[in-house]
Amino acid sequence: MATACVTTAPPRLAEPAIRQLGPSFFRAVGPEPLPEPHWVAINDLLARELDLDKEWLASDEALELFSGNADGGDIQPLATVYSGHQFGVWAGQLGDGRALLIGQTPDGQQIQLKGSGRTPYSRGADGRAVLRSSIREYLCSAAMHGLGIPTTRALCIAGSPAPVYRERTETAAVTTRTAPSFIRFGHFEHFSYAGEHRELKTLADFVLDRFYPDCRASEQPYLALLQRVVRKTADLIASWQAAGFMHGVMNTDNMSILGLTLDYGPFQFMDAFDPAHICNHSDGLGRYAYQNQPGIAYWNLRALGHALLPLVPDAESMKRTVQTYEAAFAHAVGQRMAAKLGLAHASESGIQLVTDLLALMARERTDYTIFWHALTQHMAGSSAAPLHDLFVDRAALDAWLIRFETLAQQAGQAHSIARMQRANPAIVLRNHMAQEAIERAEAGDFSLVEELLLALQQPDRAPAGHPEWMRFPPDWAAAIQVSCSS
């Protein structure tokens, strides 16, 4: 894809905003070059949103920049420092061990390379990312965005034949990610636990002024900040639960202060519905199982609240603020699940209906995405809808459908098929779909990555040329093991 032509218009990147906070927050470090870089994928939709020149993006200069092979010009790349709780245990200092901020766009999007080599925070690891995990992040972040779920984005992947050693020898890749900020709960924990309260305040002021400026009007701006993060996190987790998405590694260093889905690793979309499903092969105890995600987010918010203690009036007000999570989550998930039923609001009977449905689905191990899509088609009057084929206990389904149809009728105008269609996608990125794209890409064919990207950007449509993406996962999918190794 790279051409030898001279570039037209390289992006006007400025220093990443976090640089203004001073050297306590980052270390300047250049990327480590990769041999023989080549394009694996470019997200044209995001490139347009970022106002990147299409011709420039196809140039050698762009490939050099986004593979970490450019010297960076005027802007010095930097790695930020953070700490965090991993699997419930304080892990101490972590930091961007394989990620570098290389600039920000005129409208403030931070541009980050992931897998661009070692940094002062690599802790003995290689600073690299493999092609496999890079494709998973690239596709899943596009899928989440397509579903309307807040997330970091991925602009492109550059690959290289350079070997990277994981359970097997793989090859290296660099993903270019964008977000308004990559600041994590762990950034706050870092300065708080180190007793560096001046830096903690500097960081909180930065986040407040940039992202939550209305909190300044509050008598307690840092409590107001915490309150906003509680709300954003509750909304995020509600959207995950409704989509059947499991993150897999909800450590506090993977929690975004903006409520974005961040750091895609062993994630999975639910196949057969099992609330106890564990998607991360390294998570033996199931800390991050589907049904635990809401409670873990609460745990993480408590950790953030503790980190903010030096800035708030007292522990009681901090606790009260964090406790609002429970009601915020209940409301948010109620709304999301109501939307899946086509309802404008979550009523008590609507919530009971969802609870009973999920219990039935758990008993029957009903495919989560296929069920909701089939229910949507059933309500739209499609006779081809295979809804009943999904259940052994059809009498139980029929009894539930009668209750649902009654509720929908009573709701009148407040029930909408269009709402169901938006909330119940035709496709999600299942593990086996990513796996096929990865295996093809590892053999040098990137076409499936592109086709999946385009399909996932419009998840409410049946994917052109790939009816199989709407079907049950094949038997071999159950054997896919996804761990923290990336």
Which among 219, 231, 218, 217 has a CA at the least distance from the CA of 304?
Answer: 231
Least Å distance, CB 144 to ligand AMP, is 17
| Site track 415-454 with ligand AMP (rule: CB under 6 A), x = hit | ----------------------------------------
Binder among 95, 266, 305, 350 for ligand AMP (CB under 6 A): 95
- Angle value at C-alpha 96, between 92 and 97, nearest 5 degrees: 85
Cβ proximity to ligand AMP: between 265 and 350 the closer is: 265
Cβ proximity to ligand AMP: between 263 and 367 the closer is: 263
Structure tokens at 429: 């990125």
Least Å distance, CB 403 to Mg ion, is 43
Is 32 a residue that touches Mg ion (CB under 5 A)? no
Least Å distance, CB 47 to ligand AMP, is 25
Instruction: For residues 247 and 319, give the distance between their C-alpha atoms in angstroms, rounded to a whole number.
Output: 26
- Which residue has the CB atom at the shortest distance from ligand AMP? 97
The footprint of Mg ion on this chain (CB under 5 A) covers a number of residues equal to: 2
Least Å distance, CB 263 to Mg ion, is 4
- 97's contact among Mg ion, ligand AMP, none, with CB below 5 to 8 A by partner kind, is ligand AMP
Is 126 a residue that touches ligand AMP (CB under 6 A)? yes
Is 94 a residue that touches ligand AMP (CB under 6 A)? yes
- Residue 263: CB atoms within 10 A of its CB come to 23
Ranges assigned E (strand) in 192-335: 245-246, 268-269
Structure tokens at 90: 């304080």
Binding segment for ligand AMP among 89-97, 304-312, 400-408, 474-482 (CB under 6 A)? 89-97
Is 263 a residue that touches Mg ion (CB under 5 A)? yes
Beta partners for residue 130, in sequence order = 172
Total number of residues shown for the chain = 486
User: Residue 80 is inside which H or E element, if any?
Assistant: strand 78-80
Burial class (CB in 10 A: 0-12, 13-18, 19+), 443: exposed
Is 127 a residue that touches ligand AMP (CB under 6 A)? yes
Instruction: For residues 183 and 17, give the distance between their C-alpha atoms in angstroms, rounded to a whole number.
Output: 11
Binding segment for ligand AMP among 29-37, 117-125, 142-150, 446-454 (CB under 6 A)? 117-125
Structure tokens at 38: 């080549």
Cβ proximity to ligand AMP: between 11 and 127 the closer is: 127
Is 254 a residue that touches ligand AMP (CB under 6 A)? yes
Mark whether 263 is an active-site residue: no
- Angle value at C-alpha 402, between 397 and 408, nearest 5 degrees: 120
Catalytic residue among 253, 271, 283, 367: 253
Structure tokens at 297: 């987010």
- Mention every residue, 6+ apart, whose C-beta is less than 8 A from residue 254: 84, 184, 247, 262, 263
Tell me the residue type at 290.
Y
- Which residue has the CB atom at the shortest distance from Mg ion? 263
Is 122 a residue that touches ligand AMP (CB under 6 A)? yes
Binding segment for Mg ion among 14-22, 42-50, 261-269, 322-330 (CB under 5 A)? 261-269
β-strand 268-269 against 245-246: which pairing, if any?
antiparallel
Binder among 81, 100, 155, 249 for ligand AMP (CB under 6 A): 249
Instruction: For residues 371 and 362, give the distance between their C-alpha atoms in angstroms, rounded to a whole number.
Output: 12
- 126's contact among Mg ion, ligand AMP, none, with CB below 5 to 8 A by partner kind, is ligand AMP
| Site track 265-284 with ligand AMP (rule: CB under 6 A), x = hit | x-------------------
Cβ proximity to ligand AMP: between 267 and 391 the closer is: 267
Binding segment for ligand AMP among 21-29, 92-100, 292-300, 463-471 (CB under 6 A)? 92-100
Backbone φ and ψ of 61, nearest 5°: -60, -40
Please report how the helices 221-243 and 293-307 are oriented relative to each other, as an axis angle in degrees rounded to 10. 160
Binder among 5, 9, 125, 402 for ligand AMP (CB under 6 A): 125
Using H for helix, E for strand and C for coil, what is the string for 172-223?
EEEEEEEECCCCEHHHHHHHHHCCCHHHHHHHHHHHHHHHCHHHHHCCCHHH
Give the position of tokens 């793989």.
170
Question: Binding to ligand AMP (CB under 6 A): which residues in 148-207?
Answer: none
Is 98 a residue that touches ligand AMP (CB under 6 A)? yes
Structure tokens at 302: 């408590």
Question: Binding to Mg ion (CB under 5 A): which residues in 216-255?
Answer: 254
For Mg ion, the binding residues (CB under 5 A) are 254, 263
List active site positions.
Answer: 253
For ligand AMP, the binding residues (CB under 6 A) are 94-98, 121-122, 125-128, 249, 254, 263, 265, 484
